[in-house]
Amino acid sequence: MWTLKCIFNNKKNILNKLTNKYNLILKGYPVNTHKEKEKLIVSAAGFIEGVEENKKLFLKELKKQKEITNIENYKDFFIISIIQPKETHCLYGEGLIYTKPVTVTPNFTQEYEVSHFNRKRLEKVMSITKQNLKPTILKIKNEKLKEISFLGIHPNLTEKQKEALHFAHKNNYYDFPRKSSLKSLSKDNNQPLSTFQKNLRKAEKKIMDFFLKV
């Protein structure tokens, strides 16, 4: 299986514009595509990461955009149907397999990792996108797939547990050697130590139980 990992820079894309405006990260998968006349409409599902108020403003503004044909969300989870520009049509269909979520960042980039049995299909992606999106190719390699990451295959964490886990990870709590302490994390997150520790430990236990329980 051939795998292509690349980053596209696109300041015209509406998702890139709004994630930049509200300093958010989107992670999601295309789940369906269909055509209406010459328009390619992609339905995708994913999660929003960032400050709660910014998420609300992002969703409110996104719903007003002409490229968006449908959108629905429950807290951080969203499903969206979006009209794709012609230069990105090559990223969908024809046997492409999305092995990891697409990541949209606040600095106008989108990171893709896609696989195909035939290298020529990935070369087609590189050739077409080179003209408009100026991709940075991080990897094109023939390798056996070990896994595919799926959204939703994770323990059901509460909002407070997710927030504590993301904050700890963002602030290098899980690095070795550890670069932050629970005391400093709780202070920076404006929470009592006992509250932050409780939420983080419950999140960690749910993750451990989910992946290690036989």
Whether 178 and 74 share a structural domain: no
Domains held by the chain: number: 2
Whether 35 and 119 share a structural domain: yes
Give Cα 4 distance to the centre of its chain: 17
Q: What's this model's pTM, rounded to 2 decimal places? A: 0.77
Whether 96 and 40 share a structural domain: yes
Domain of 182, in residue numbers: 159-212
CB 97 within 8 A of CB 114: yes
Whether 36 and 84 share a structural domain: yes
Whether 106 and 175 share a structural domain: no
Whether 133 and 179 share a structural domain: no
Instruction: Judge whether 149 lies within some domain.
Output: no
pLDDT of residue 151: 61
Instruction: Judge whether 148 lies within some domain.
Output: no
CB 43 within 8 A of CB 81: yes
pLDDT of residue 214: 47
Question: What is the SS3 assignment for 112?
Answer: strand
Interval 64-75: pLDDT, tens: 999 999 999 988
Interval 126-164: pLDDT, tens: 998 887 788 899 999 999 988 887 666 567 788 889 889
CA–CA separation, 23 vs 131, rounded Å?
Answer: 28
